[in-house]
Homo-oligomer: A and B are copies of this chain.
Amino acid sequence: MINKLVEKIQKMDAPVVVGLDPTMKNIPDYIIKKAIEEYGETLEAAAEAVWEYNKGIVDAIYDIVPAVKPQIAMYEQFGLEGLKAFKKTVDYCKSKDMVVIGDVKRGDIGSTSESYAIAHLGRVTVGSKRIAAFDEDFATVNPYLGTDGIKPFVDVCREEKKGIFVLVKTSNPSSGEFQDRLIDGKPLYEIVGEKVNEWGSDCMGNDYSYVGAVVGATYPEQGELLRKVMPKAYILVPGYGAQGGKGSDLAHFFNKDGLGAIVNSSRGIIAAFKQEKYAKFGAEHYAEASRQAALDMIEDINSARK
C-alpha cells in the first residue's frame, strides 16, 4: 500500500491528504436540515448528513488528491450510526481508488493491539472465514506502550501489505509536554523516531517502509531532524492550514527525491466555503470550494518541496 500511495502522489504531483473530519458546525445547514427532516433529531440524521457531506467532497477531489484521512473520533461521537458513516466513507473512497488513512490513533498491548490491527487493517476469523471489518489502507498508531503495542500492527501490515503511521511528534501546542523531554540528551520524540526506523526496517515497500510516522507541520525544526532519523519512513504531516503550519515550513519534511511526506489538511479543505477566500462558492457549492482549496494547497506545498 505504501507503493500505491507513493505512485499516486507522483502521478498526481500532490503530496497531500484531505482529512475527512466532519462536524455539525462545518456541514452546510441545508444538508443537516434535509437529514433532520428525514430522520428527526437523531444520530441517524447526523450520520446521514456526515455521509452526504463527505460524498460531495470526495466526488470533487478524488481525481486531484491521492488520499483521504477520516478521523474516526468525528464519527464515533455519533455512535453506531456514525461508525456506519465512517465505514461507508472508507468504502466509497476506496471505490474511487483513493488511499484511505484511518486516523484512529489506536494502541494497546499484545493481543489487544492485534485486535485493533485486525479491526482496521486485517481480517478476523469467524468459523472457517476471514472477514475484514473496517478495512482501511493505513492506520495511525500511538506508541506510548512500546514495541508490544506496535509489533502486532506491523505483523498485520506485512500480511495484508498495508501500513501504519506512528505518532512521533504531534502538531498540538502541548505535544512537547512529554514528547520534547530530554532523555540522555535526546528528546523523547527522537527516541520514538529511532524506534519507528527499527520497527519499519523489515517491512519495506520499494523505497519506503510500511511503517511511517506522524510529525506535525507546526514543528518544522523537529521535522527536519526526524526526516534524517527515519529516512525510510513516510511522514504524515498534520497541522497545515487551520492549525498554523505553512507550505514554506515543510521543505525539510521531504527527502531529496521530493518524496517522503504527505501533508494533511482537514478544516482548511472540507470547510473551505466558510473562509473569506472561498466564500464566493457559497454553502451549496461547498465541494467546489473544497476542490479549489485543495488545488491551492497542492500548489503551496509543491512550491516548498521543489
Contacts and interface: CB of A to CB of B under 8 A. Distances in A.
A147 to B, nearest CB: 4
Contact of A170 (B24, B109, B177, B188): B109
A21 interface: yes
A89 to B, nearest CB: 13
A23 B110 CA distance: 13
Interface string A97-128: 00000000111111111011011100011111
A182 B181 CA distance: 9
Interface in A138-182: 142-149, 167, 170-179, 181-182
A176 B149 CA distance: 12
B119 A79 contact: yes
Give the interface size class of chain A.
35 or more
A73 B175 CA distance: 26
Interface stretch (A1-9, A36-44, A223-231, A282-290): A36-44
A78 B172 contact: no
A191 interface: yes
A215 interface: no
Interface string A72-90: 0110111110111001000
5 closest A-B pairs by beta carbon, nearest first, are A79-B133, A146-B177, A146-B174, A41-B127, A109-B172
B167 A134 contact: no
Interface in A184-200: 184, 188, 191-192, 195
A108 to B, nearest CB: 6
Contacts of A134: 76, 79
Given A143-B178, A188-B188, 15 more contacts: A32-B127, A41-B128, A42-B129, A73-B108, A77-B115, A78-B126, A78-B133, A79-B134, A80-B84, A105-B107, A109-B172, A144-B167, A146-B174, A147-B177, A181-B188
